[in-house]
Structure 1
């Protein structure tokens, strides 16, 4: 009887997961798409964002439910490159690698970068890249026979989307048909949040991007916003219905004076 052929080697897992029990939990991808343009340098906004990211990272580490299944990726729009992709605190440049390389890292290994405020607001390009990163990650998980919950993308900005010269741009509208299709097909859940001084017409941009989950928050309540994303992630893992996500977001929009979002 001829010897049996050796089994093919399994496809490689992403580098951040090589020493991680990747199959112990259904994955829950959470991508933060954050504005770091020059306007965030005013009123202490970028400092507040960095402090919130550090506190949120610690909260994920301390949360036994979320640290085991949430995967975090970060894309920023601003700076000299216009867009930056991060793998934890490691900059990957203005483009994202493809599976098995990925910006996503397990929540308990996510260490945020120290962000600086500079450049213009290329929101449309950053959101498109965010959608591509999530789609690539989901495809990679499926190829490995691994399962995942509906991903979350959270876009946060303090102003209007712009072109490379800093002028208001309607380029984001090219994304709208795909975003509506993504909603229907449940590819991901998109949150679009404005912070800081309210600007006439800016919130309507967010409403076009995310009709069900858009808001403009007074001040720079980044801690409360990230807390809401954690609550939404937990609700996703628990199989909550759409009404619960709407209530989580409604509590965030009702925020007054810096209070924490209730669990």
Structure 2
């Protein structure tokens, strides 16, 4: 798995605090958007395990004194509707939603909404003089997109990743269309082992803790989740 030099994505602006929240917490930010499939095929144990994984993710971020100040989480869900159910917040304000599965798979619209929100958030950082690391987008699905704009969204995701505007990760649950999912990311999409959402979010939190402790220009090695008893396997 390619090791991302997240640290080189940090902005070197000096803090000039423009909002109360940034004034109270001027730490550089690691923004992360979780794009989560809540279509009807996720009903039952998959959505339950996903919900449990989100709770674990919050707990792990909160337990790390630096990551709790630096990692900002946003959650975008998609079924027949696309909703931002958690806007950018550090772990203190992150209350994992109880997701319910229903509807179709409007993945393209969700990816566009996530990228739009990241661009807006980065502008808010710049306006407030807050430095930030290269953002993460984490897409999790068990299906294939069935909205009309998904190919444009996939191209936008790949171009943004190549331009280092963000790092795009795609994870497929059993039943996912990996050939289509691969169109959304530069790196090969990963296949979740069973329903190991908890292990996935433990890895995500641990990786972001490492990034949050790095300094500008550092290359941060990430543990390969396909090695040993990792939570993922290669999709091909």
TM-score bin, normalised by smaller chain: 0.7 to 0.9
CA shift, 1:223, in A, is 1.1
What CA deviation, in whole Å up to 9, does each residue of 1:69-90 have, x standing for no partner?
A: 11111100025xx111123xxx
CA shift, 1:225, in A, is 1.3
Q: Distance in 2 between matches of 1:159 and 1:129?
A: 19
SS in 2 for 1:33: strand
In structure 2, stretches of 5+ residues that fail to align are 1-15
Instruction: Report the structure number with the largest CA radius of gyration.
Output: 1
Corresponding position of 1:230: 205
Corresponding position of 2:135: 151
Q: Distance in 1 between matches of 2:228 and 2:102?
A: 28
Q: Distance in 1 between matches of 2:18 and 2:66?
A: 26
Give the direction of change, closer, same or farther, for the CA distance of 1:58–1:40 in structure 2 (3 Å limit).
same
CA shift, 1:177, in A, is 3.7
Residues 60 and 108, structure 1, Cα contact 8 Å, conserved in 2: no
Q: How well do the aligned residues superpose, as a CA RMSD in angstroms?
A: 2.4
Scaled by the length of structure 2, the TM-score of the pair is: 0.81
Equivalenced residues, count: 214
What CA deviation, in whole Å up to 9, does each residue of 1:185-215 have, x standing for no partner?
A: 21111111011x245xx11122221121521
Q: Distance in 2 between matches of 1:209 and 1:177?
A: 7
Greater relative contact order, per chain length (Cα 8 Å cut-off, separation 6+): 2
Q: Which one of 96, 112, 124 corresponds to residue 128 of structure 1?
A: 112
Residues 33 and 153, structure 1, Cα contact 8 Å, conserved in 2: yes
CA shift, 1:11, in A, is 8.3
Q: Distance in 1 between matches of 2:199 and 2:162?
A: 28
- Does the alignment pair 1:13 with 2:12? no
Stretches of 4+ aligned residues off by more than 2 angstroms? 10-14, 175-181, 234-237, 239-242, 253-259
Q: Which one of 85, 97, 113 corresponds to residue 113 of structure 1?
A: 97
CA shift, 1:114, in A, is 0.8
Give the direction of change, closer, same or farther, for the CA distance of 1:206–1:231 in structure 2 (3 Å limit).
farther
- Does the alignment pair 1:67 with 2:72? no
Q: Distance in 2 between matches of 1:225 and 1:151?
A: 18
- Does the alignment pair 1:28 with 2:33? no
Corresponding position of 1:7: none
